[in-house]
Amino acid sequence: MTVNDMNTLFSLLALAADAAVVIMVIGWLTRSQLPVLGELVEWAADRALLFGAIIAGVSMAGSLYYSEIAEFIPCTYCWYQRIAMYPLVLILGMAAVRRDWFARLPALTLAVIGLGWSIRHWTVQKWPGSGGSCSVTVPCSTPYVDWKYGFITIPWMAGSTFALIITVLAISTLLDRETDQADSDQ
């Protein structure tokens, strides 16, 4: 596969992640009116740790593809996003195996930090005057990928991943709290 093919694949995965966030949030908010969607949200939330690990793993593989195979040199903001993403693979992967739901808090923390860096990086790319560049040799304002409609760049892809991980983990936490509350009321 060519780099353009991989750009298309990763861009479509980002769009799928964005759509999944919207579906999960709508499903969470309307689960009493749309029970089928509510069941889908609950099914995904029950597997939040596994899904989070897989999502983070695919994102990590994508970032490694871009730096090691496509030979895109990561800028400083890319590194910050990687620093937040790579540990999520281990944290969520180990938590999924051990069914350790307490791992959601550190995972959510890393994902929120990573999303913040992704948003910052994306805005610097789209509006270069909004914050300058982080390096002369590898400027953060230069997008290696600018797919089809002009908004999907590597930071957008990373941000989509972080947003989906946040959504799945947050909804699973909210559902657990509802269950705990219902159990304590009885």
Within-domain flag for 184? no
Q: For all residues of the chain together, what is the average pLDDT?
A: 88
Backbone angles phi, psi at 133, to 5 degrees: -125, 150
Looking up residue 89, the CATH number of its domain turns out to be: 1.20.1550
Helices (H) and strands (E) in the chain, counts: 6, 0
Within-domain flag for 180? no
The per-residue pLDDT for 138 is 67
Residue 136 has pLDDT above 60, yes or no: no
Report d(CA 154, CA 132) in Å as an integer.
18
Q: Residue type for 75, please?
A: C
Within-domain flag for 75? yes
Domain count, the chain: 1
pLDDT digits (tens, 9 = 90+) for 83-94: 999 999 999 999
Higher pLDDT, 138 or 41: 41
Instruction: Indicate the burial class of 43 (C-beta count within 10 angstroms; 0-12, 13-18, 19 or more).
Output: exposed
Within-domain flag for 186? no
- Helix/strand/coil for 100: coil
The per-residue pLDDT for 118 is 95
Within-domain flag for 183? no
Which residues constitute the domain of residue 159? 3-174
pLDDT confidence tier of residue 179, bands split at 50, 70 and 90: confident
**Mean pLDDT on 26-55:** 92
Within-domain flag for 182? no
Higher pLDDT, 135 or 16: 16
| Upper half-sphere CA count for residue 44 (Cβ side, 13 Å) | 25
Running DSSP on this structure, what letter comes out for residue 66?
I
Within-domain flag for 112? yes
pLDDT confidence tier of residue 10, bands split at 50, 70 and 90: very high
Within-domain flag for 124? yes
